[in-house]
Structure 1
Amino acid sequence: MNVSIIGTAGVPSKYGGFETLAENLAKFQSSSNKYTIFCSSKIYTIKKEEYLNAKLKYINLKPNGISSIIYDIIAMLQSLNTNIMLVLGISGAIFFPIIKLLYHGIIITNIDGIEWKRSKWNVLVQFYLHLSEEMAIKYSDIIIGDNKGIIDYVKETYNKVAILIEYGADHIQKIGCDNELFNKKYPFNKKKYAIGIYRIEPENNIHLILEAFARQKSIELVIVGNWKNSKYGLSLIERYSKFSHIYLLDQIYDYKDIGFLRTRAFLNVHGHSRGGTNPSLVEAMYFGLPILAFDCIYNRYTTENQCIYWSSAEELYNYLLQLNEKKLNDIGEKMELIADNRYRWSIIASKYEELYQTYDNH
């Protein structure tokens, strides 16, 4: 089966759930399947023909923002001779009705989260994303959701059945705490700290996390994110950078750095309230970190109702005041066990391969 992966910035993965998914699908591909992954030449100036036995094709557009629509459409038009289009996200789904007239293969769409409900979009963008979601659900041969909350939403809203396939987490490895280079780079690592890795957006509740941690001094807070990409992020920097126990780090693209920071962390605080199975959450679980997660259906499903949940800055602050290390250790062990059973890339890749095989047999 020739499978084209559409909707990512490309590989090697630099920073993003879909890019990491594409890379690991290629890494664990069977001999009976061949991937083609579309990449942005705006990001990958050095163009490889192959990576992990996957063929790479380049499009001279940015893979995000409004240009992502054209980016995905071009990738679809260049995939008409494949058996399967695996479309990650719904940016170009508005074009599905036309593609279905031209294409004789199977369209599989991973719809990601419920994008049109995100507060960062204006009304016009929300309208477009809602319409794209409808087109994706209507015209895809199969829909993938990465969380039971998404599966239920597709069923309740569109009366359609979606297939549950989550994300892996074992692409980031633990780094020894005696690493001299990282000890110098991140001197706070000797202290007891909580870590969070996010896109800096209101619906990820970073403002609530910062408010809660600013009120106490016993646990340091390290947040990694794209602070300078929005007024929201800049306003948080202005307000909280003065706190000596709070570290607001810019985006980190090196998995070794992320591995070290997670290895040294005392716990993980997770604020995402929308989306589905969030990659940064399952990665923290894989490291066996105790989780303090925002209380929503997606996070509860991902963690199997086994961690601590909060819904306000006050509630999070009160939890921080009464943390019990034995309870945290128990939570961490449960998180690691869940991740090992559900969030390994070999498991995730095999589920995609089973889908392809189902269509191959028909």
Structure 2
Amino acid sequence: MKIAILGTRGIPNYHGGFEQFAEFFAVYLANKGEDVYVYNSSLHPYKEKTFNGVKLVHCKDPEDKMGTVGQFLYDLNCILDARKRNFDIILQLGYTSSTIWWWLMPKKAKIITNMDGLEWKRSKYSKKVQYFLKYAEKLGAIHSDHLIADSLGIQVYLKNKYNKNSTYIAYGADVFTNPNESILDKYKIEKNKYSLLIARFEPENNLEMILDGVTTSTKKEPFLVIGKHETPYGEFLKEKYKAFSNIIFTGGIYNFEELNNIRYYSRLYFHGHSVGGTNPSLLEAMASNCLICANNNEFNKGVLRENAFYFATSNEVKQLYDTLDKENELEKINQNTTAIENEFSWNIINEKYYDLLKSIS
């Protein structure tokens, strides 16, 4: 098969979830002997024409000069190039800035779209942007040959909203097996004597709810808030909780070994995400020995099932924070590790995507 992967900034991964998946899956396809291409932004630091057997197509990306509008033009440039290459399959990751060009997609290629989460629900967007995102979602759902839902909740939503069937394939992770407790020294924390959350600083990730619960507790152990906080919402949170010395805003941590160890040795891991899809950081927490307290919604429950504790208010956060002990909940932790091995490992996820591509080509 001649396969193109569109919708990311490119590989190797320097950005996030879709880029991480694109790297793993594209290399997997290349190792299977498939003819696979990944579209890379001209702003991507990796400038070679291939990566581990994957062919790279570098397309002009004016986002650095034009902001968000540049993303739409980058996707347009990728699609125009794809029209020249006679692909059998185009795997489109997301829809936000690409589906408005649906009428330019190559007619002979099968278009498979991963519909991501419910982007239009994000409160950071204005009403006009939310309306556009709903429109872009509709275009992706209607004009793709096949849809992928990365959570069961999204699969149900696509059926109810657009009467479209989709294939459920989650995001992936691999079990963390090489802990190194000495890494904690850098952050001045001790095994099982701190808790944390990892999130983008956006209201729908419920950081404020979690921190309100933590700061009303009598426990004063360190609580790490990991994520890029140089945003208006981040500044608001730092100002609100500046009197609490145990609340530590670390900023983003991009060293995966450090991040895995911080997760591995934590007492509790709080996951506040409430807007659709299988969140990569949640799977990584499951893979890293975490005892997870998650926002009570269908997306999180679809992944964690009964192997987590759930909250919907800051008072419920406080109760969990005050009463839970990791050593008493090893069964939930072990069940999450088993789920990663049996359902969410990268090898399993890659196989599911590959089987889908073969069935459609």
| TM-score normalised over the length of structure 2 | 0.92
How far apart in 1 are the matches of 2:281 and 2:236? Answer: 23
Which ranges of structure 2 fall in alignment gaps of 5 or more residues?
none
SS at 2:134 equivalent? helix
Matched residue count: 353
Amino acid at match of 1:55: K
Q: Which residue of 2 aligns with 1:94?
A: 100
Amino acid at match of 2:8: T
Offset of residue 95 of structure 1: 1.0
> What percent identity do the matched residue pairs reach?
32
Offset of residue 305 of structure 1: 2.9
Asked if structure 2 preserves the Cα contact closer than 8 Å seen for 1:15 and 1:253, the reply is: no
Offset of residue 330 of structure 1: 2.0
Matches within 5 A, 1:234-313: 234-313=235-314
Offset of residue 326 of structure 1: 4.4
**Is residue 2:70 matched to residue 1:67?**
yes
Decide whether aligned partners of structure 1 residues 352 and 198 sit closer, same or farther in structure 2, where only a CA change above 3 A counts.
same
**Is residue 2:151 matched to residue 1:152?**
no
Offset of residue 266 of structure 1: 1.9
Q: Which residue among 85, 97, 112 is the counterpart of 1:108?
A: 112
SS at 2:329 equivalent? helix
SS at 1:160 equivalent? coil
How far apart in 2 are the matches of 1:149 and 1:333? Answer: 24
Matches within 5 A, 1:219-238: 219-228=221-230, 230-238=231-239
- The alignment yields a C-alpha RMSD, in angstroms, of 1.9
Offset of residue 79 of structure 1: 1.4
How far apart in 2 are the matches of 1:347 and 1:137? Answer: 25
Amino acid at match of 2:223: L
SS at 2:348 equivalent? helix
Offset of residue 280 of structure 1: 0.3
Decide whether aligned partners of structure 1 residues 169 and 241 sit closer, same or farther in structure 2, where only a CA change above 3 A counts.
farther
Of the structure 1 ranges 166-175 and 152-161, higher mean CA displacement relative to structure 2 is found in 166-175
How far apart in 2 are the matches of 1:334 and 1:109? Answer: 31
**Is residue 2:89 matched to residue 1:84?**
yes
Matches within 5 A, 1:168-187: 168-170=172-174, 174-178=178-182, 182-187=183-188
What do residues 235-257 of structure 1 show as CA deviations (whole Å, max 9, x unaligned)?
Answer: 11122244221211111222122
SS at 2:254 equivalent? coil
Which ranges of structure 1 fall in alignment gaps of 5 or more residues?
none
How far apart in 2 are the matches of 1:51 and 1:243? Answer: 46
Amino acid at match of 1:4: A
Offset of residue 125 of structure 1: 0.9
How far apart in 1 are the matches of 2:221 and 2:288? Answer: 19
Of the structure 1 ranges 218-227 and 83-92, higher mean CA displacement relative to structure 2 is found in 218-227
